[in-house]
Amino acid sequence: ELRTPLNSILGWARLLQDGNLEEEQSRRALTTIIKNSELQNKLIEDLLDVARIVSGKLQIEQGEAAIAEVVSQAADSVRPSAEAKSLDLTVAIGEGAENVIVNGDANRLGQGITNLLSNALKFTPEGGRIELALKNANGRV
């Protein structure tokens, strides 16, 4: 998986370097390079986190997090990939869940939710549907 985004980045960069792309193709190439660079960065960060976990050096930043905001940001981060695969990605935030504050590391919570959504994207067939629902059940989400 580490090589997949890099192959796309290199391929489009070489095409841009050749100078034979139309303006619209060049814009598409740059968009793809940016998207795959961000994906590559995320994969490297995940790999570094695994190394930190194994070595016992992973730091958790305890604090309060608005879980609805964390969930929405995670969904927004994978939405372009969902659209590219013609997937219907919806986030349903139930009544009373929109203001729930949880104790934890907002970045790590977001990372976990993003990873779950990424797996859902990977294993949902093209044209499928992914729904992430956040519900408040007596103060628990």
Instruction: For the chain, give every domain's residue range.
Output: 1-59, 60-141
How does residue 58 score in pLDDT terms, banded at 50, 70 and 90?
A: confident
**Which CATH number is associated with domain 1-59?**
1.10.287.130
Tell me, what's the pLDDT at 137? 86
Tell me, what's the pLDDT at 42? 84
Looking at the chain, the whole-number percentage of residues with pLDDT higher than 70 is: 99
How does residue 93 score in pLDDT terms, banded at 50, 70 and 90?
A: very high
Nearest to 40 by CA among 84, 10, 77, 6: 6
Tell me, what's the pLDDT at 48? 92
- pLDDT over 90 (residue 23): yes
Tell me, what's the pLDDT at 121? 93
- pLDDT over 90 (residue 81): no
Tell me, what's the pLDDT at 80? 83
- pLDDT over 90 (residue 26): yes
Nearest to 110 by CA among 44, 79, 65: 65
Q: Which CATH class is domain 60-141?
A: alpha beta
HEC sequence for 38-89: HHHHHHHHHHHHHHHHHHCCCCCCCEEEEHHHHHHHHHHHHHHHHHHCCCEE
Tell me, what's the pLDDT at 55? 94
Looking at the chain, the whole-number percentage of residues with pLDDT higher than 90 is: 61
Rg (CA), the chain: 18
Nearest to 107 by CA among 75, 70, 79: 70
